[in-house]
Amino acid sequence: MRELNLTVTSEEQGWQLQRLLKARGFSHRTIIKLKHSGGLTRGGEIIRTVDLLSEGDVITVVLEDEGGLIPNHELKAGIAYEDEDIIVFDKPPYMAVHPSIKHRNDTLGNLFAAMFPNTPFRAINRLDRNTSGLCVCAKNRFAAASLGKKVSKVYYAIVDGDMGSGEIDVPIGRVQDSIIYRNVTPDGQPALTLYSDERHGNGRTLSRVILKTGRTHQIRVHFAHIGYPLCGDEMYGGDLSAINRQALHCGEVSFIHPVSGEHITLTSPIPQDMEQLLTEKENT
């Protein structure tokens, strides 16, 4: 494994990452490999090749050996679906999808490498480390290209109070001095979130959420913006007294199978730590 740190210059300010990599001599094929392997990070977090850069940003490029990601046979995750082209994991919370500086050997990618030696890891939908639920992965380049951005997802989030139903249509952007943190800002990218009441319990709402856009931390930012941060979401003001991670779960995915043409819909119940927020009475 080879690790390179690239510091963004004033001349490169505002460039997309892919432009920077090309200017630094990386081939198109290598950039694609880095994108799918999770080998591009900024501040320890995965960065997309279309993300904009700021002067002083340090981009870490991890060039994996030809063998791919490090296999970890000790890791476990549920499997919601599998065939020759696709596997859909039911990812537990606290497991990152892609390796990063802080998580080199304990990710879904490392589990995939243990299950499918010499097969590149291609996650179609990405989940934050502390978000649980369904993650679609392609076993070959054709399946990955066919699925692309065509996987529909339904999320479930828990907030304190009676949130109701509605939509949130306000732009989201990166806070200028932060690598990770996002907020609602007029000069951000368009973002649309649809939400509806699923059920209530313990003074909380389980909300069913559909994203019409795919911005970083979109649900977390939008819900906090209207005064309902997710339970356990420390970054955006959620209450940590009953759960120590954001109460967010990808509970449904659907897609057209790239080979058979079959429409496939998979579901996953919310995990125990989220269920307890609605059903278990707390000490007062």
- The HSE-up count of residue 22 (CA atoms within 13 Å, CB side) is 10
Given 57, 90, 106, 128, the catalytic residue: 128
* Residue given tokens 């179609």 in the structure block: 124
Q: How far apart are CA 229 and CA 159, in angstroms?
A: 6
> Would you tell me how many other CB atoms lie within 10 Å of the CB of residue 77?
16
Q: Nearest 10 degrees: CA dihedral of 192, 196, 198, 204? A: 90
Residue partners of 194: CB distance under 8 A and separation at least 6: 166, 167, 209, 210, 211, 212
Determine the residue type at 171: P
Cα–Cα dist 278/239, whole Å: 14
Q: Around 154, how many Cα atoms within 13 Å sit in the side-chain half-sphere?
A: 17
- The one-letter amino acid code at 214 reads G
CA 187/CA 175 separation, integer angstroms: 11
271: which DSSP letter?
P
How far, in Å, CA of 258 to CA of 85, rounded? 8
- Annotated active-site residue 83? The verdict is no
| Residues that are catalytic | 128
